[in-house]
Structure 1
Amino acid sequence: MTPLGILLRGAGHEPAHYSLVLATGAAAIGRPVTLFATNAGLALFRRDTPLLADPREALLAERGVAGIAALWEAATELGLRLIACEAGMRAEGLAAPDLSEAVEVAGVITFLGAVRDGQLLSL
């Protein structure tokens, strides 16, 4: 199947949540998925992600929609490749120990190499 690359650069809960919705959905139907986060999008990859405290998480739970925690668990179980942009990390003042264990640190060349001729989405 065609690889899917998702570039998460947007700040906040909504782009982070939907990047996981798209990524886990694609992986569930057998597509290889690489989720690449940079700058403000790196909040999703932080070990202490502030996104879990966002009020939308409780609202999603009330409405029976999977939140970031459930989608993150699914993403790791489905074997998504999670890459934190090293330049974006420097821009945000983050270091590798600040990130979740499932996340690798690499650059845009690694991301583009993983996706190759596949589809790219940016959120």
Structure 2
Amino acid sequence: MDKNERLTMIVFDGDLDKAMASFIIATGAAAMGKQVTMFFTFWGLNVLRKDEPIQAKKKFMEKMFERMMPRGPKKLQLSNMNMAGMGPKVMKKMMKDHNVSTLDEMIDMAEELDIKMVACTMSMDVMGLKQEELRDGLEYAGVASYLAEADEANTNLFI
């Protein structure tokens, strides 16, 4: 495949507005015919977490991370103007009023467009996340896999 037809993206941040931007760009590129790979690492993994708690055997520090991190797209905060949790509610209302898809809908759209979503295994280990805690249908890989794909793309983004 031609480099001009490929886009890779590192999703490092787990803020609602940055996650939205990531999926808007990714789905737009896929709709234009580009092959898209999104590599979720560190806080970006929170975007992929399932809403419901999963019982998994964890060490003390892993349990602490689990409790402190937002669980899935519905629990993400804004990077600015979070306003003690009111910011995301206001943003979601504005999105609804303007017929903008929710983050959950954009993630579903990304799956329908065959966007490859990859969870960074090293970050998962560091943050105590298990595969069963993340959405179904993901791929799991390390940075070398991402870099190999990025080398084959003409556009590489970091969000």
Scaled by the length of structure 1, the TM-score of the pair is 0.91
Which among 34, 56, 72 is matched to residue 50 of structure 1?
72
Question: Any stretches of 5+ residues in structure 1 without a counterpart?
Answer: none
Aligned length: 123
In structure 2, how many angstroms separate the alpha carbons of the residues matched to 1:120 and 1:94? 26
String of CA shifts for 1:87-109, please: whole Å, max 9, x gaps: 11112210110110121111111
Secondary structure of residue in 2 paired with 1:43: helix
- How far off is 1:69 after superposition? 1.3
Greater Cα radius of gyration, structure 1 or 2: 2
Number of the residue aligned with 1:32: 35
Number of the residue aligned with 1:17: 20
C-alpha contact (below 8 Å) 1:12/1:51 kept by paired residues: no
1:1-123 mapped onto 2 (5 Å cutoff): 1-48=4-51, 49-53=71-75, 54-55=88-89, 56-118=91-153, 119-123=155-159
Q: Which residue identity lines up with residue 3 of structure 1 in the other structure? A: R
Scaled by the length of structure 2, the TM-score of the pair is 0.72
- How far off is 1:73 after superposition? 1.1
Q: Which residue identity lines up with residue 65 of structure 1 in the other structure? A: V
- How far off is 1:82 after superposition? 0.4
- How far off is 1:12 after superposition? 1.1
Secondary structure of residue in 1 paired with 2:37: strand
Question: Any stretches of 5+ residues in structure 2 without a counterpart?
Answer: 52-70, 76-87
Task: Select between 100-109 and 18-27 the one with higher mean Cα deviation.
Answer: 100-109
Q: Which residue identity lines up with residue 95 of structure 2 in the other structure? A: L
C-alpha contact (below 8 Å) 1:85/1:105 kept by paired residues: yes
Task: Select between 106-115 and 71-80 the one with higher mean Cα deviation.
Answer: 106-115
Secondary structure of residue in 1 paired with 2:5: coil
In structure 1, how many angstroms separate the alpha carbons of the residues matched to 2:33 and 2:102? 22
In structure 2, how many angstroms separate the alpha carbons of the residues matched to 1:92 and 1:26? 30
Identity of aligned residues (%): 28
